[in-house]
A and B are shown apart, each in its own frame.
Chain A
Amino acid sequence: AQSVTQLGSHVSVSEGALVLLRCNYSSSVPPYLFWYVQYPNQGLQLLLKYTSAATLVKGINGFEAEFKKSETSFHLTKPSAHMSDAAEYFCAVKGNFGNEKLTFGTGTRLTIIP
């Protein structure tokens, strides 16, 4: 079964600094990978997804993620943090056979320091 591990339940960065949120996946076959963001008291919103078309995926709000098969990683980055980026971020994986469900990591809470 597919799974993802998010390293660091809490990450704090200064405004304007690089954002790096880590996600490693476990899958026997190349999976589909997703990053979602959840703002307080709201549902999840898709930031970006990897579907094997390109290893570097660009998403909304200036975020991007790179699929690295050799490292089984799909880390999320943003060059310059904004206060509005403060939220919880979830990495998720889906297998590529039939109707496999979306499996989420435990989430990383991002705090932006003014």
Chain B
Amino acid sequence: EAGVAQSPRYKIIEKRQSVAFWCNPISGHATLYWYQQILGQGPKLLIQFQNNGVVDDSQLPKDRFSAERLKGVDSTLKIQPAKLEDSAVYLCASSSGTSGGLQETQYFGPGTRLLVL
């Protein structure tokens, strides 16, 4: 079974530029998550999708971040314009169940490491 795929693996941009990350979850997984992991911290949930609907985006900085999962499969996360403090690893994860699956396991991709100069 293929795991969660993410691209690119690394990205360097200058502040005020835009950037997009792509995630392809495990086949058949209904729930998809985007996390931000700042150096020295644990991952923080940015947005959660169930199929193509948003379940939780309470911690997404909506003035600059956007995400979509149009067909309920792969997803993109965009930052426009980027700030220095956006430098982090962006992790995508997926799980098989519906939202509210308390015991379901989240499977993580390798992440995209973003450096904003």
Contacts and interface: CB of A to CB of B under 8 A. Distances in A.
A98 interface: yes
Interface stretch (B12-20, B61-69, B71-79, B97-105): B97-105
B110 A42 contact: yes
Given A42-B110, A99-B55, A105 B42 contact: yes
Contact of A90 (B42, B48, B56): B42
Interface in B69-114: 91, 93, 99-100, 102-103, 105-111, 113
Interface residues of A, number: 23
A104 B91 CA distance: 13
Interface string A42-72: 1111100101000000000000000000000
B45 A92 contact: no
B103 A51 contact: yes
Contacts of A102: 45, 106
Contacts of B56: 99, 101
16 contacts: A42-B110, A42-B111, A43-B91, A44-B93, A51-B103, A92-B42, A99-B48, A99-B56, A99-B99, A101-B48, A102-B45, A104-B43, A106-B40, A107-B40, A107-B41, A107-B42
- A-B pairs, top 4 by smallest CB distance, nearest first, are A104-B42, A43-B108, A44-B108, A99-B99
Interface of B: 4, 40-45, 48, 55-56, 91, 93, 99-100, 102-103, 105-111, 113
